[in-house]
Structure 1
Amino acid sequence: MSSFTYILHSKALNKFYIGACHEDLEQRIENHNAGTYGTKSFTSITQDWILFLKIDCDDYAHAIRLERKIKSMKSSVYIWNLTKYAELRDKIYNETRST
């Protein structure tokens, strides 16, 4: 089964959500928009989440490490730069791989 780190964007909030999954990503996004993960989850605030960036990972553990690395940057500029610069995506991807 494929594993991903994904970034969603809400235009209404002008915010990003970073997650990892090893299931059907389209269904995962639908679940975020439907509030399936509960009213206390960040994504339940709005229903306009769209896929901003998807990064295929080696396995689920890698997807989690990559998710945490991106979250640790605490920067929307960094997230925008991930879409602009392939070398930045490659760098963070390789940094979070198992050794």
Structure 2
Amino acid sequence: MHTVYILHSQKLNRFYTGYTTNLDVRMEFHTNSETRKYTYNADDWTIFFTVNCESKSQALAIEKHIKAMKSKAYIENLKKYSEIMEKLFEKYKSSEY
């Protein structure tokens, strides 16, 4: 499964957006003090939101879109308003990538 995930750190009041095919393994990476990189600044990362995609290309396009928005409000609204994700799925249809 291709998953776009958004982590949140209450300590830093920041979000981290990433892509993976195995969320459990990826979370272990983010919480292991020896392997984490960007997420090394905090040890309280939790899964805020996940998006299951049809293909790797679709997932990477959605991840790129979310990162390009550079907005905490946008990320919070992804979780709050399902129609935003519906529009993203329409914009980044798997067959187009």
> Which runs of 5 or more residues in structure 2 are unaligned?
none
SS at match of 1:48: coil
Sequence identity (%): 37
Query: What are structure 1's unaligned runs of at least 5 residues?
Result: none
Secondary structure of 2:46's counterpart equals strand
Rate the CA distance shift 1:34–1:71 in 2: closer, same or farther, 3 A.
same
What SS does structure 1 have at the residue aligned with 2:3? strand
CA–CA distance in structure 2, aligned partners of residues 93 and 49 of structure 1: 26
Q: Which residue of 2 aligns with 1:29?
A: 27
Q: CA RMSD in A?
A: 1.3
Say if 1:35 and 1:43, in contact at 8 Å, map to a contact too. Answer: no
Q: TM-score with structure 1 length normalisation?
A: 0.88
Question: For residue 79 of structure 2, what is the aligned residue in structure 1?
Answer: 83
Measure the CA separation in 2 of the matches of 1:8 and 1:56: 15
TM-score (norm 2): 0.89
CA distance in 1, matches of 2:60, 2:32: 23
1:29-86 Cα deviation digits (max 9, x unpaired) = 1210113545xx2111111111000000011121111100000001000000000101
Query: Pairwise mapping of residues 4-43 of structure 1 onto structure 2 (< 5 A)?
Result: 4-23=3-22, 25-38=23-36, 41-43=37-39
